[in-house]
Structure 1
Amino acid sequence: MEEKTENEISIFVGKRAWYELLLASVFFGAFIYMILLFVYFAFIEVSVKIAIRAFVVFLLCGTYCLVYGFKFSATKNMLVNLKTNTIISRYIVGPFSYDVKLKATEFEYVSFFEDRYGEFGTKLWYVKNRHYEMYSFEDKESAFQFSLNLSNKLNIDLLDATEKGNFKWVEKEKIQ
């Protein structure tokens, strides 16, 4: 196993709850069932009218099942490499993973904010006005703690943007 250096910050979400995985398996199972129904009506019992209906149902309901299957089973892990200023997001669904790499020149500050749905998010800002939205949380305290830890590890400033139009820089010395 590779030893982590102080130039890397790893953020792991953890595993999904058992009921989320159960729901994901139901949605993936329904998706596979719809594929089999379409294949049956299109190639085995050849009926153009029924095959077209099965295809339309597959497109509508199958897409729904596939998206919600991914929603309930996917996790997102992040790695921030300070040496190369790279943010790597790893999306994981079961044994499969997909990496998205973002190259930033210099990290400027971390902000936490409230979105229009009442959730709190964290953004990592770099190069003037560019940002990377990291995670969202249900409560303000979790978003604040995550943002504070990240800003401390990156040694950059922290911005409280939870009130629209009233942004405040957080003085980290007073908190610690």
Structure 2
Amino acid sequence: MEEREFTKLIYVSQRPFWHFLIAFPLYYFTISMVFKAVELFSSGKVIEALKFLLAIFFMFVCAAGLTFTKKVYTNAKLKTVRFNFTLFKIPLCRDSVFKNIQYVSVYKNYSDRDFEIYIWLSETQKKSISVHLDLQSAFDYALKIANGLEVDLLDATEKGNFKWVEKEMK
């Protein structure tokens, strides 16, 4: 109970409208195909019904990927962060919780040319929590987490030139 008193929502994923435009027909066809699969099972055409179930699964995963919501909660007092993934308010998995966070860093992955955000649990233990294609979105997200946890942010985007980022506390 004490943990919830200090938990603060710092991030909610914002989906562009076109994601929903693409997902709507996928959900519609998924539902239509469920009825067809039931009809095929009831008529004894099991192999065809299983093919439909496989197509339903892939179509649903594509639609869910376009419409799921990610929420990030932080607790500055306990230095914990919680990641929550839902699909239309239905939890997709158990919340990921990381405790005793020391600091947050943004790292440039030169092999993939993207930017990763790490949370550091100790001097040697880190967890990758997000990957971004551009530097600005990576820093915006990392700064929200660092501010929510009231920890430092490390800029590790240049090899051998790591520096602490000055941030404004709100």
Q: Which runs of 5+ in 1 are unaligned?
A: none
Name the TM-score, length of structure 2 as normaliser: 0.76
Name the TM-score, length of structure 1 as normaliser: 0.74
2:75·2:149 contact (CA, 8 Å) conserved in 1?
Answer: no
Letter in 1 for 2:50: F
Q: How many angstroms apart in 2 are the aligned matches of 1:167 and 1:35?
A: 55
Letter in 2 for 1:75: T
Match of 1:25 in 2: 24
Structure of higher RCO (CA pairs closer than 8 Å, 6+ residues apart): 2
Match of 1:89 in 2: 83
Match of 1:62 in 2: 56
Alignment partner for residue 138 of structure 1, among 130, 133, 146? Answer: 133
Q: CA RMSD in A?
A: 2.8
Instruction: Report the number of matched residues.
Output: 163
Match of 1:100 in 2: 95
String of CA shifts for 1:91-114, please: whole Å, max 9, x gaps.
12123235504241x222211123
How far residue 73 of structure 1 moved from its aligned partner, in angstroms, is 0.4
Q: Which runs of 5+ in 2 are unaligned?
A: none
Letter in 1 for 2:65: K
Alignment partner for residue 44 of structure 2, among 44, 47, 71? Answer: 47
> What percentage of aligned pairs have identical amino acids?
23
2:80·2:101 contact (CA, 8 Å) conserved in 1?
Answer: no
Q: 1:167 to 1:94 in 2, by over 3 A?
A: farther
Letter in 1 for 2:32: Y
String of CA shifts for 1:43-89, please: whole Å, max 9, x gaps.
1xx233xx312312321x22211111111000101001122333221
Match of 1:27, SS state, is helix
1:159·1:167 contact (CA, 8 Å) conserved in 2?
Answer: no
Q: Which moved more, 1:31-40 or 1:126-135?
A: 126-135
